[in-house]
Structure 1
Amino acid sequence: MDDLDRRLLALLSEDARLPVKTIAGRLGIARNTVEARLRRLRMSGVIAGFTVRLGPAAAEERVRAVMMVSVATKRPEEVLVSLGRLAGVSMVHTTNGRWDLIAELNCADLRAFDRLLADARNVGGVAETESCLLLASHPGMVTNG
């Protein structure tokens, strides 16, 4: 990836529905160049897909949680990939300390959350999990200093 790829990804991160013509204009390059780079970024796995980010009104309806995971295998990356493929897992992080992985969960309702927990616990190599529901978000409440 070069600087042009990074600028292209930054534009798509803001609005994944931007037309190729608009992207080309903002980057000062030809449409064909944008299309070729998008194709290459998709084929290489840099772009895994395009999605919708829900606004606060829609997000309040969903069940959000984090799940800490202890891995009992010599190949933790396999567990990470398997968890990341489960519907409802939006991100998996490696970490240090007591837990090996932390998964961000986003489910339609408590029934979907319950199914996701069961599916995650059945992933080969998962030794133990602990989950915490995210009850409310408080943007702007954090102070630095």
Structure 2
Amino acid sequence: MNALDRKILAELENDGRLTVTELAERVGLSLSPCHRRVRALEESGVIRGYRAQLDASALGLEFAALVFVTLTGSKAVAEFEQAVAQLENVVQAQRLFGEPDYLLHVVAHDLPTFQRFYDERLTALPGMHRMTSTLVMKEVVANRPLTAAMD
């Protein structure tokens, strides 16, 4: 990947709705080479897809929590990961080194909805040993473009 590819990625991270013509103009390429580079970035898996960034508050999802999960043992990992992937309120799940084993980012309409989700769905996950949670007060950095970290 060279500087031109990084420039293409930065433009697409900033605005995924750019047409190839607009993108080519912004990065200083003609249409065909720009299209070939974008296609190559998609085929290589660097670009995994395109999607809209939604505002959780505007959708009524005013409540966010971070849930730390420790499993009973390593035998439960695959089953736990399969089950947590099915929970719509879990918008991000990360396996961690050390303890705890996982960090889940959960969104809900409000505290009572989160409490119900916590009590009924999270505690029922396979291999659960311990959970702790903390409430998100404010998002300070969200969806920062990855190309910013490449420099």
Do the structures match in fold with TM over 0.5? Answer: yes
1:40 to 40, 43, 66: 43
- Whichever residue aligns with residue 105 of structure 1, its letter is V
Q: TM-score with structure 1 length normalisation?
A: 0.63
Partner of 2:20: 20
Select the structure with the greater relative contact order (CA < 8 A; seq sep ≥ 6): 2
Identity of aligned residues (%): 21
Verify: 1:130 aligned to 2:101, yes or no.
no
- How many residue pairs are counted as aligned between the two chains? 135
Rg larger for: 2
Partner of 2:122: 120
Structure 1 residue ranges without an equivalent (≥5): 141-145
Partner of 1:51: 52
Instruction: Say if 2:41 and 2:47, in contact at 8 Å, map to a contact too.
Output: no
Residues 114, 130 of structure 1: CA spacing in aligned structure 2 closer, same or farther, 3 A cutoff? same
Tell me, in whole angstroms, the C-alpha distance in 1 between the residues paired with 2:139 and 2:35: 43
Structure 2 residue ranges without an equivalent (≥5): 142-151
Cα RMSD over matched residues? 3.7
Matches within 5 A, 1:82-93: 82-93=83-94
TM-superposition CA deviations, 1:4-62 (whole Å, max 9, x none): 65544433332232333322333325353255246526xx585255232428x638961
Partner of 1:143: none
Instruction: Say if 2:70 and 2:100, in contact at 8 Å, map to a contact too.
Output: yes
- Whichever residue aligns with residue 106 of structure 2, its letter is L
